[in-house]
Amino acid sequence: MTVALVDADALVLGIETSCDETAAGVVRGGTEVLSNVIASQADLHAPFGGVVPEVAARAHVENMPMVIDKALRDAAVTLSELHAVAATRGPGLIGALLVGFATGKAMASALGVPFSGVHHIEGHILAAQLEYPDVDPPFVALVVSGGHTSLLAVRELGSYEVLGETLDDAAGEAFDKVARLLDLGYPGGPAIDRLAKRGDAKAIAFPRALSGQGLDFSYSGLKTAVVRYVRGLEAAGERMKRADIAAAFQEAVVDVQVEKAIRAATTMEVPTIVLGGGVASNTRLRERLAEAAEQRGLRLIVPSGRLCVDNGAMIAAAGHFRLRKGEATALDASADASLPL
Ligand code: KG4
Ligand code: ZN
Protein backbone atom coordinates (compact mmCIF):
# COMPACT_ATOMS: atom_id res chain seq x y z
CA MET A 1 0.00 0.00 0.00
CA THR A 2 1.32 3.44 -0.85
CA VAL A 3 1.33 6.01 1.90
CA ALA A 4 1.43 9.51 0.46
CA LEU A 5 4.18 11.60 2.03
CA VAL A 6 2.50 14.92 1.18
CA ASP A 7 -1.10 16.08 0.72
CA ALA A 8 -2.67 16.44 -2.73
CA ASP A 9 -2.46 20.24 -2.45
CA ALA A 10 1.04 20.36 -0.91
CA LEU A 11 3.40 23.27 -1.55
CA VAL A 12 6.65 21.95 -3.02
CA LEU A 13 9.83 23.87 -3.77
CA GLY A 14 11.67 22.51 -6.82
CA ILE A 15 15.36 23.19 -7.51
CA GLU A 16 17.10 22.59 -10.84
CA THR A 17 20.85 22.89 -11.51
CA SER A 18 21.66 20.06 -13.93
CA CYS A 19 23.22 22.25 -16.60
CA ASP A 20 23.54 26.02 -16.94
CA GLU A 21 20.24 27.30 -15.57
CA THR A 22 19.99 27.98 -11.84
CA ALA A 23 16.27 27.56 -11.29
CA ALA A 24 13.72 27.28 -8.49
CA GLY A 25 9.95 27.25 -8.44
CA VAL A 26 7.07 26.68 -6.07
CA VAL A 27 4.17 24.48 -7.19
CA ARG A 28 0.94 23.75 -5.35
CA GLY A 29 -0.61 20.33 -5.72
CA GLY A 30 1.75 19.26 -8.50
CA THR A 31 0.03 21.40 -11.12
CA GLU A 32 -0.37 25.03 -10.02
CA VAL A 33 2.77 27.09 -10.65
CA LEU A 34 3.11 29.80 -7.97
CA SER A 35 6.59 30.85 -9.11
CA ASN A 36 9.21 29.80 -11.63
CA VAL A 37 12.52 31.67 -11.39
CA ILE A 38 15.24 30.89 -13.95
CA ALA A 39 18.70 32.48 -13.81
CA SER A 40 20.38 31.70 -17.11
CA GLN A 41 24.16 31.54 -17.24
CA ALA A 42 24.23 31.85 -21.04
CA ASP A 43 26.28 35.06 -20.92
CA LEU A 44 28.93 33.40 -18.75
CA HIS A 45 29.37 30.49 -21.17
CA ALA A 46 29.01 32.48 -24.39
CA PRO A 47 32.73 33.29 -24.72
CA PHE A 48 33.45 29.54 -24.69
CA GLY A 49 30.72 28.62 -27.19
CA GLY A 50 29.28 26.03 -24.82
CA VAL A 51 28.73 25.18 -21.16
CA VAL A 52 31.93 24.95 -19.10
CA PRO A 53 31.09 22.55 -16.21
CA GLU A 54 33.35 24.16 -13.61
CA VAL A 55 32.05 27.65 -14.44
CA ALA A 56 28.45 26.37 -14.26
CA ALA A 57 28.93 24.80 -10.82
CA ARG A 58 30.49 27.94 -9.37
CA ALA A 59 27.75 30.15 -10.80
CA HIS A 60 25.08 27.85 -9.31
CA VAL A 61 26.67 28.32 -5.88
CA GLU A 62 26.56 32.09 -6.34
CA ASN A 63 23.02 32.29 -7.76
CA MET A 64 21.27 29.64 -5.66
CA PRO A 65 20.36 31.75 -2.58
CA MET A 66 18.81 34.62 -4.52
CA VAL A 67 17.00 32.32 -6.95
CA ILE A 68 15.38 30.39 -4.09
CA ASP A 69 14.62 33.60 -2.24
CA LYS A 70 12.91 35.08 -5.30
CA ALA A 71 10.98 31.86 -5.95
CA LEU A 72 9.57 32.03 -2.41
CA ARG A 73 8.81 35.74 -2.64
CA ASP A 74 7.14 35.47 -6.07
CA ALA A 75 4.99 32.66 -4.70
CA ALA A 76 4.29 34.61 -1.48
CA VAL A 77 5.25 31.50 0.45
CA THR A 78 7.52 31.37 3.50
CA LEU A 79 10.03 28.61 4.14
CA SER A 80 7.98 27.24 7.01
CA GLU A 81 4.94 26.86 4.74
CA LEU A 82 6.72 24.41 2.39
CA HIS A 83 5.54 20.81 2.67
CA ALA A 84 8.44 19.29 0.73
CA VAL A 85 11.58 20.09 -1.24
CA ALA A 86 12.58 18.51 -4.57
CA ALA A 87 15.83 18.86 -6.50
CA THR A 88 17.19 17.36 -9.71
CA ARG A 89 19.28 14.29 -8.90
CA GLY A 90 20.44 13.56 -12.45
CA PRO A 91 21.31 13.18 -15.24
CA GLY A 92 23.46 16.23 -15.91
CA LEU A 93 26.84 17.76 -15.11
CA ILE A 94 27.88 16.32 -11.75
CA GLY A 95 29.39 19.52 -10.31
CA ALA A 96 26.31 21.47 -11.29
CA LEU A 97 23.88 18.82 -10.02
CA LEU A 98 25.60 18.63 -6.64
CA VAL A 99 24.89 22.29 -5.89
CA GLY A 100 21.10 22.05 -6.24
CA PHE A 101 20.89 18.53 -4.83
CA ALA A 102 22.87 19.39 -1.69
CA THR A 103 20.89 22.60 -1.26
CA GLY A 104 17.60 20.72 -1.55
CA LYS A 105 18.63 18.06 0.95
CA ALA A 106 19.91 20.65 3.43
CA MET A 107 16.68 22.63 3.20
CA ALA A 108 14.49 19.55 3.60
CA SER A 109 16.56 18.47 6.59
CA ALA A 110 16.43 21.90 8.25
CA LEU A 111 12.68 22.24 7.62
CA GLY A 112 11.91 18.66 8.66
CA VAL A 113 9.99 17.94 5.43
CA PRO A 114 10.33 15.10 2.90
CA PHE A 115 12.86 15.34 0.08
CA SER A 116 12.58 14.10 -3.49
CA GLY A 117 15.57 13.68 -5.81
CA VAL A 118 14.04 14.03 -9.25
CA HIS A 119 15.03 12.50 -12.58
CA HIS A 120 15.51 15.47 -14.91
CA ILE A 121 13.66 13.84 -17.84
CA GLU A 122 10.67 13.01 -15.65
CA GLY A 123 10.66 16.73 -14.82
CA HIS A 124 10.54 17.66 -18.52
CA ILE A 125 7.68 15.20 -19.05
CA LEU A 126 5.65 16.44 -16.08
CA ALA A 127 6.15 20.07 -17.19
CA ALA A 128 3.23 19.45 -19.57
CA GLN A 129 0.76 18.94 -16.74
CA LEU A 130 1.59 22.37 -15.32
CA GLU A 131 -0.20 23.92 -18.29
CA TYR A 132 -2.36 21.06 -19.49
CA PRO A 133 -3.68 19.29 -16.39
CA ASP A 134 -5.88 17.16 -18.66
CA VAL A 135 -2.90 15.48 -20.38
CA ASP A 136 -3.18 11.83 -19.53
CA PRO A 137 -1.05 8.87 -20.53
CA PRO A 138 -0.65 7.04 -22.75
CA PHE A 139 1.41 9.48 -24.79
CA VAL A 140 4.73 9.74 -26.55
CA ALA A 141 7.19 12.35 -25.25
CA LEU A 142 10.00 13.90 -27.27
CA VAL A 143 12.47 15.66 -24.97
CA VAL A 144 15.05 17.61 -26.94
CA SER A 145 17.55 19.93 -25.29
CA GLY A 146 21.22 20.80 -24.96
CA GLY A 147 21.78 17.70 -22.85
CA HIS A 148 19.33 15.13 -24.15
CA THR A 149 17.39 13.81 -27.10
CA SER A 150 14.94 11.18 -25.94
CA LEU A 151 11.82 9.69 -27.41
CA LEU A 152 9.76 7.99 -24.70
CA ALA A 153 6.60 6.00 -24.39
CA VAL A 154 4.63 7.01 -21.31
CA ARG A 155 1.98 4.39 -20.59
CA GLU A 156 1.40 5.75 -17.12
CA LEU A 157 3.09 8.55 -15.23
CA GLY A 158 6.14 7.21 -13.45
CA SER A 159 6.87 4.44 -15.92
CA TYR A 160 8.83 5.39 -18.99
CA GLU A 161 10.01 3.29 -21.88
CA VAL A 162 12.90 4.78 -23.81
CA LEU A 163 12.05 4.24 -27.49
CA GLY A 164 14.99 6.14 -28.90
CA GLU A 165 17.90 8.35 -27.90
CA THR A 166 20.75 10.16 -29.54
CA LEU A 167 23.72 7.97 -30.32
CA ASP A 168 26.11 10.93 -30.11
CA ASP A 169 25.37 14.67 -29.64
CA ALA A 170 22.14 15.99 -28.17
CA ALA A 171 19.94 17.97 -30.58
CA GLY A 172 20.56 21.30 -28.81
CA GLU A 173 24.28 20.58 -28.77
CA ALA A 174 24.18 20.19 -32.56
CA PHE A 175 22.41 23.56 -32.85
CA ASP A 176 25.03 25.14 -30.58
CA LYS A 177 27.96 23.63 -32.52
CA VAL A 178 26.64 24.68 -35.92
CA ALA A 179 25.86 28.16 -34.57
CA ARG A 180 29.45 28.43 -33.40
CA LEU A 181 30.69 27.45 -36.83
CA LEU A 182 28.53 30.20 -38.33
CA ASP A 183 29.69 32.73 -35.69
CA LEU A 184 26.20 33.12 -34.29
CA GLY A 185 27.14 33.05 -30.61
CA TYR A 186 25.83 30.94 -27.73
CA PRO A 187 23.21 29.59 -27.18
CA GLY A 188 22.99 28.78 -30.85
CA GLY A 189 19.48 27.34 -31.11
CA PRO A 190 17.57 30.63 -30.94
CA ALA A 191 20.07 32.31 -33.32
CA ILE A 192 19.74 29.54 -35.94
CA ASP A 193 15.97 29.58 -35.53
CA ARG A 194 15.86 33.34 -36.27
CA LEU A 195 18.36 33.27 -39.14
CA ALA A 196 16.73 30.24 -40.79
CA LYS A 197 13.55 32.24 -41.36
CA ARG A 198 15.45 34.25 -44.00
CA GLY A 199 17.10 31.21 -45.60
CA ASP A 200 16.17 28.56 -48.12
CA ALA A 201 16.00 25.15 -46.45
CA LYS A 202 16.24 23.43 -49.84
CA ALA A 203 19.42 25.26 -50.87
CA ILE A 204 21.67 22.53 -49.44
CA ALA A 205 20.90 18.82 -49.00
CA PHE A 206 22.27 17.86 -45.59
CA PRO A 207 21.97 14.21 -44.44
CA ARG A 208 18.92 12.96 -42.50
CA ALA A 209 20.78 10.58 -40.19
CA LEU A 210 18.97 7.32 -39.31
CA SER A 211 15.86 8.43 -41.18
CA GLY A 212 13.54 5.45 -41.56
CA GLN A 213 15.74 3.35 -39.27
CA GLY A 214 14.49 2.70 -35.77
CA LEU A 215 13.81 5.50 -33.31
CA ASP A 216 17.31 6.60 -32.35
CA PHE A 217 18.88 9.88 -33.44
CA SER A 218 22.35 10.91 -34.54
CA TYR A 219 23.73 14.39 -35.16
CA SER A 220 27.49 13.97 -35.53
CA GLY A 221 27.31 13.15 -39.27
CA LEU A 222 25.08 16.16 -39.90
CA LYS A 223 27.43 18.43 -37.97
CA THR A 224 30.40 17.09 -39.98
CA ALA A 225 28.49 17.64 -43.23
CA VAL A 226 27.90 21.29 -42.26
CA VAL A 227 31.58 21.72 -41.33
CA ARG A 228 32.65 20.20 -44.67
CA TYR A 229 30.25 22.42 -46.59
CA VAL A 230 31.53 25.58 -44.87
CA ARG A 231 35.20 24.58 -45.34
CA GLY A 232 34.48 23.84 -49.01
CA LEU A 233 33.09 27.32 -49.54
CA GLU A 234 36.07 28.86 -47.75
CA ALA A 235 38.54 26.87 -49.85
CA ALA A 236 36.77 27.94 -53.05
CA GLY A 237 36.72 31.56 -51.84
CA GLU A 238 32.94 31.64 -52.14
CA ARG A 239 30.70 33.77 -49.93
CA MET A 240 28.78 31.83 -47.34
CA LYS A 241 25.00 32.22 -47.25
CA ARG A 242 24.60 31.68 -43.54
CA ALA A 243 20.80 31.91 -43.62
CA ASP A 244 20.63 29.04 -46.13
CA ILE A 245 23.02 26.90 -44.10
CA ALA A 246 21.01 27.57 -40.92
CA ALA A 247 17.72 26.76 -42.65
CA ALA A 248 19.01 23.60 -44.36
CA PHE A 249 20.63 22.34 -41.15
CA GLN A 250 17.52 23.05 -39.09
CA GLU A 251 15.31 21.32 -41.63
CA ALA A 252 17.50 18.21 -41.51
CA VAL A 253 17.15 18.08 -37.70
CA VAL A 254 13.43 18.79 -37.73
CA ASP A 255 12.65 16.31 -40.53
CA VAL A 256 13.99 13.36 -38.54
CA GLN A 257 12.47 14.47 -35.24
CA VAL A 258 9.03 14.88 -36.77
CA GLU A 259 9.26 11.57 -38.64
CA LYS A 260 10.25 9.62 -35.51
CA ALA A 261 7.83 11.29 -33.09
CA ILE A 262 4.93 10.64 -35.45
CA ARG A 263 6.03 7.07 -36.19
CA ALA A 264 6.36 6.37 -32.45
CA ALA A 265 2.86 7.70 -31.74
CA THR A 266 1.21 5.87 -34.64
CA THR A 267 2.91 2.51 -34.08
CA MET A 268 2.18 2.67 -30.36
CA GLU A 269 -1.35 3.80 -31.16
CA VAL A 270 -1.33 6.65 -28.66
CA PRO A 271 -3.34 9.82 -29.32
CA THR A 272 -0.93 12.42 -27.95
CA ILE A 273 2.63 13.70 -28.38
CA VAL A 274 4.24 15.83 -25.66
CA LEU A 275 7.21 17.98 -26.65
CA GLY A 276 9.70 19.27 -24.08
CA GLY A 277 13.25 20.59 -23.56
CA GLY A 278 14.93 23.78 -24.76
CA VAL A 279 14.82 22.78 -28.45
CA ALA A 280 11.01 22.56 -28.18
CA SER A 281 11.15 26.36 -28.49
CA ASN A 282 12.27 25.92 -32.11
CA THR A 283 9.58 27.52 -34.26
CA ARG A 284 10.14 25.24 -37.26
CA LEU A 285 9.94 22.08 -35.12
CA ARG A 286 6.70 23.30 -33.51
CA GLU A 287 5.23 24.22 -36.88
CA ARG A 288 6.17 20.99 -38.67
CA LEU A 289 5.20 18.74 -35.78
CA ALA A 290 1.87 20.54 -35.37
CA GLU A 291 1.11 20.05 -39.09
CA ALA A 292 2.11 16.38 -39.07
CA ALA A 293 0.17 15.69 -35.86
CA GLU A 294 -2.95 17.37 -37.21
CA GLN A 295 -2.80 15.34 -40.43
CA ARG A 296 -2.87 12.14 -38.39
CA GLY A 297 -5.43 13.28 -35.86
CA LEU A 298 -2.89 13.38 -33.03
CA ARG A 299 -2.91 15.96 -30.23
CA LEU A 300 0.36 17.86 -29.80
CA ILE A 301 1.17 19.37 -26.42
CA VAL A 302 3.96 21.95 -26.24
CA PRO A 303 4.30 23.77 -22.91
CA SER A 304 5.29 27.44 -23.11
CA GLY A 305 8.98 28.36 -23.31
CA ARG A 306 9.61 28.84 -19.59
CA LEU A 307 8.30 25.36 -18.86
CA CYS A 308 10.19 23.75 -21.78
CA VAL A 309 13.64 24.99 -20.77
CA ASP A 310 15.23 23.70 -17.59
CA ASN A 311 13.16 25.07 -14.71
CA GLY A 312 12.35 24.49 -11.06
CA ALA A 313 8.57 24.25 -11.42
CA MET A 314 8.82 21.02 -13.42
CA ILE A 315 11.09 19.56 -10.72
CA ALA A 316 8.58 20.54 -8.02
CA ALA A 317 5.80 18.84 -10.04
CA ALA A 318 7.82 15.64 -10.39
CA GLY A 319 8.79 15.73 -6.71
CA HIS A 320 5.14 16.10 -5.71
CA PHE A 321 4.21 13.16 -7.92
CA ARG A 322 6.85 10.88 -6.38
CA LEU A 323 6.09 11.93 -2.79
CA ARG A 324 2.37 11.29 -3.39
CA LYS A 325 3.36 7.77 -4.39
CA GLY A 326 5.14 7.43 -1.04
CA GLU A 327 8.61 7.65 -2.57
CA ALA A 328 11.05 9.97 -0.79
CA THR A 329 14.79 10.20 -1.41
CA ALA A 330 17.06 9.49 1.55
CA LEU A 331 19.18 12.41 2.71
CA ASP A 332 22.35 10.35 2.28
CA ALA A 333 21.63 9.75 -1.43
CA SER A 334 23.95 11.42 -3.90
CA ALA A 335 23.45 13.14 -7.22
CA ASP A 336 24.08 10.92 -10.24
CA ALA A 337 25.36 12.33 -13.54
CA SER A 338 23.94 9.37 -15.48
CA LEU A 339 20.89 8.50 -13.40
CA PRO A 340 18.82 5.88 -15.28
CA LEU A 341 15.15 6.63 -15.95
O1 KG4 B 1 16.44 22.49 -21.85
P2 KG4 B 1 17.55 23.48 -21.97
O3 KG4 B 1 17.29 24.85 -21.44
O4 KG4 B 1 18.83 22.97 -21.22
C5 KG4 B 1 19.35 21.70 -21.33
O6 KG4 B 1 18.88 20.75 -20.62
O7 KG4 B 1 20.28 21.56 -22.14
O8 KG4 B 1 17.99 23.53 -23.51
C9 KG4 B 1 18.98 24.39 -24.00
C10 KG4 B 1 19.24 24.05 -25.46
C11 KG4 B 1 20.43 24.78 -26.07
O12 KG4 B 1 21.23 23.84 -26.75
C13 KG4 B 1 19.76 25.76 -27.02
O14 KG4 B 1 20.58 26.07 -28.14
C15 KG4 B 1 18.52 25.02 -27.43
O16 KG4 B 1 18.09 24.38 -26.25
N17 KG4 B 1 17.49 25.91 -27.94
C18 KG4 B 1 17.03 25.89 -29.21
C19 KG4 B 1 16.09 26.95 -29.31
N20 KG4 B 1 16.01 27.57 -28.10
C21 KG4 B 1 16.87 26.92 -27.27
N22 KG4 B 1 17.33 25.08 -30.24
C23 KG4 B 1 16.70 25.31 -31.40
N24 KG4 B 1 15.81 26.30 -31.60
C25 KG4 B 1 15.46 27.14 -30.59
N26 KG4 B 1 14.58 28.11 -30.78
ZN1 ZN C 1 16.73 19.70 -19.63
SS3 302: coil
pLDDT tens digits for range 64-81: 999 999 999 999 999 999
Q: Is the model's pTM score more than 0.85?
A: yes
Where helices occur in the chain by DSSP H, the ranges are 42-45, 53-75, 94-111, 120-126, 128-131, 171-181, 188-196, 220-236, 242-268, 283-295, 305-308, 312-324
101 lines ligand 1 (CB under 6 A): no
Give the distance (Å) from ligand 1 centre to CA of residue 308: 9
Give the distance (Å) from ligand 1 centre to CA of residue 309: 7
- 37/59 Cα distance (integer angstroms): 15
pLDDT tens digits for range 7-57: 999 999 999 999 999 999 999 999 999 999 999 998 999 888 888 999 999
Ligand nearest to the CA of 170: 1
pLDDT of 107 over the 80 cut: yes
Core vs surface per residue 309-324: b (16+ CB within 10 A) or e? bbbbbbbbbbbbbbbb
Q: Which of 87, 94, 69 is nearest to 123 (CA)?
A: 87
pLDDT of 1 over the 80 cut: no
19 lines ligand 1 (CB under 6 A): yes
Beta bridge partners of 152: 141, 162
For the beta carbon of residue 95, count every other beta carbon within 10 angstroms. Answer: 18
187 lines ligand 1 (CB under 6 A): yes
| Minimal-distance CA residue to ligand 1 atom 23 | 189
Tell me the average pLDDT of the chain. 96
Ligand nearest to the CA of 46: 1
pLDDT tens digits for range 182-241: 999 888 999 999 999 999 999 999 999 999 999 999 999 999 999 999 999 999 999 989
